[in-house]
């Protein structure tokens, strides 16, 4: 049965602070998805890029392009396709005045009316991937109806495009209760993003820093001073072990030298959930950020490179926590859709005792201390 939702779309051509710029790494094994986000310091860069695009359009046409403040639309998901209905506000508009351009992940809809072009919809972040060659549109009284054929009929679209609301709804369903672990150099960033994600997903936020300080009855900094970073990492590792069987949680880990996640040999319980590396980048653009991430993986010097998703942050401002959280959700969505058996394999990994054999899970009798299958007959 089709479900119907109704939304009011904000001005689609106005730069939005919560809209993340995205790019992807293609690796030999599809375990890592890479996003870059740009908080306030780099928003002018995104704005300049948008202005450049608009100028290019104006050079190609003598018709000025005007966008509306709001576009009312209705959205329907009907298994193999989705239907979008947009108000034209004029029953006299003909098909020749309509411009619809669709690619696998983007959709642009404009109407020419009274000497100008009005943008009804412009997004490069459709919620799912479509078959652009099978796009059909027609006018139904004062509405433009656009039918988009899904590439993945099993994927339920909460909305026509990615947004905080659609991603929290969709990713919560895709996770199937599997927890999320946030790792990275900054304890503060891990903490802030965990809170945002937990609220959006309806998960429990668990902050290892708070748990450590409650257990040790002292601050993490004083603990490091008294006993050293390794002692704190060991204690956090014990907490991660106790949390490894916890469902529907977003866990924020310690950053810096004293965090367990920085150590490659402390990951066996982190693998119980989906791991997101929130990485502060010194790169000035997407290409250099991608090269930076690749180098981190090749060097293998930090445990963070075990993460299944990397979100690169160019600068940091707590005000933009939701921006980073949304980029994290978008990357997690792509990871989960790349292999629909991932949540089941995570569940199996936990049931077998989080032995550190992720992603190549060994038979039940496998002994992590020797690397041998204890159930196998002697040779």
In this prediction, residue 49 carries a pLDDT of 26
Say whether pLDDT at 215 is over 50.
yes
Looking at residue 305, what is its pLDDT? Answer: 87
Average pLDDT value for residue range 233-259:
96
Say what the pTM is. 0.80
Structural contact between residues 94 and 169, judged by C-beta atoms closer than 8 angstroms: no
Q: Compare 5 and 206 and report the one with higher pLDDT.
A: 206
Q: How many CA atoms lie within 13 A of 360 on its CB side?
A: 4
Those residues with Cβ within 8 angstroms of residue 20's Cβ, 6 or more apart along the chain or in another chain: 35, 36, 37, 38, 323, 324, 326, 327, 330
Q: Which tens digits make up the pLDDT trace of 315-359?
A: 888 999 999 999 999 999 999 999 999 999 999 999 999 999 999
**Which is more confident, 64 or 108?**
108
User: H-helix or E-strand containing 181?
Assistant: strand 180-184
Q: Where are the alpha helices (DSSP H) in 217-361?
A: 220-227, 229-243, 286-299, 321-338, 342-351
pLDDT in tens, 120-170: 999 999 999 999 999 999 999 889 999 999 999 999 999 999 999 999 999
Half-sphere exposure of 116 (CA within 13 A, CB side): 8
pLDDT bracket for residue 376 (50, 70, 90):
low
Q: Does the pLDDT at position 7 exceed 80?
A: no
Residues 47, 298: Cα–Cα separation, whole Å: 33
Categorize the per-residue pLDDT at 291 as very low, low, confident or very high, splitting at 50, 70 and 90: confident
Q: In this predicted structure, what is the pLDDT of residue 370?
A: 80
Helices (H) and strands (E) in the chain, counts: 9, 17
Two structure tokens written together for 20: 């993340």
Neighbouring residues of 157: CB distance < 8 A, sequence distance ≥ 6: 75, 77, 82, 127, 128, 150, 166, 170
Percent of the chain residues topping a pLDDT of 90: 63
Tell me the mean pLDDT in the region 257-265.
93
CA distances from 181 to 159, 198, 207, 276, 282 (A): 26, 11, 10, 6, 24
In this prediction, residue 35 carries a pLDDT of 54
Residue 96's pLDDT is 92
Half-sphere exposure of 75 (CA within 13 A, CB side): 18
SS3 assignment, position 364: coil
CB atoms within 10 A of CB 356: 14
Q: Are 278 and 183 in contact (CB under 8 A)?
A: yes
Please give the average per-residue pLDDT across 68-90, as a whole number: 84
- Please state the length of the chain: 379
Residue in 195, 166, 169, 158 with CA at minimum distance from that of residue 180: 195
Please tell me the distance from the alpha carbon of residue 136 to that of residue 29, in angstroms, as a whole number: 36
């Amino acid at each position: 049965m089709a479900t119907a939702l109704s939304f009011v779309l904000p001005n689609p051509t106005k730069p939005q602070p919560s809209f993340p710029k995205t790019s992807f790494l293609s690796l030999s094994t599809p375990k890592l998805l890479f996003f870059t986000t740009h908080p306030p310091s780099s928003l002018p860069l995104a704005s300049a890029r948008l202005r450049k695009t608009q100028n290019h359009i104006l050079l190609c046409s003598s018709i000025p392009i005007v966008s509306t403040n709001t576009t009312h639309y209705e959205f329907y998901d009907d298994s193999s396709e989705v239907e979008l209905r947009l108000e034209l506000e004029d029953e006299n508009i003909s098909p020749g005045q309509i411009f619809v351009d669709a690619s696998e992940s983007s959709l642009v809809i404009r109407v020419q009316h009274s000497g100008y072009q009005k943008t009804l919809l412009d997004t490069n972040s459709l919620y799912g991937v479509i078959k652009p060659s099978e796009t059909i549109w027609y006018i139904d009284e004062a509405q433009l109806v656009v039918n988009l054929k899904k590439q993945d009929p099993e994927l339920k679209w909460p909305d026509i495009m990615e947004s905080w609301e659609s991603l929290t709804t969709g990713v919560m369903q895709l996770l199937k209760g599997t927890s999320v672990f946030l790792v990275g150099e900054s304890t503060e960033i891990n903490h802030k993003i965990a809170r945002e994600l937990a609220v959006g997903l309806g998960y429990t936020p668990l902050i290892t820093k708070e748990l450590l300080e409650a257990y040790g009855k002292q601050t993490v900094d004083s603990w490091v001073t008294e006993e050293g970073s390794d002692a704190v990492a060991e204690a956090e590792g014990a907490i991660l072990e106790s949390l490894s069987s916890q469902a529907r949680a977003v866990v924020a880990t310690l950053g810096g030298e004293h965090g367990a996640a920085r150590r490659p040999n402390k990951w066996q319980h982190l693998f119980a959930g989906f791991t997101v590396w929130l990485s502060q980048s010194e790169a000035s653009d997407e290409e250099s950020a991608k090269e930076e991430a690749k180098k981190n993986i090749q060097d293998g010097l930090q445990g963070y490179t075990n993460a299944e998703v990397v979100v690169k942050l160019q600068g940091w401002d707590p005000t933009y926590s939701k921006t980073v959280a949304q980029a994290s959700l978008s990357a997690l969505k792509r990871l989960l859709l790349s292999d629909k058996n991932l949540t089941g394999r995570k569940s199996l990994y936990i049931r077998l005792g989080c032995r550190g054999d992720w992603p190549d899970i060994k038979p039940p009798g496998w002994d992590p201390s020797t690397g041998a299958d204890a159930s196998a007959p002697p040779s």
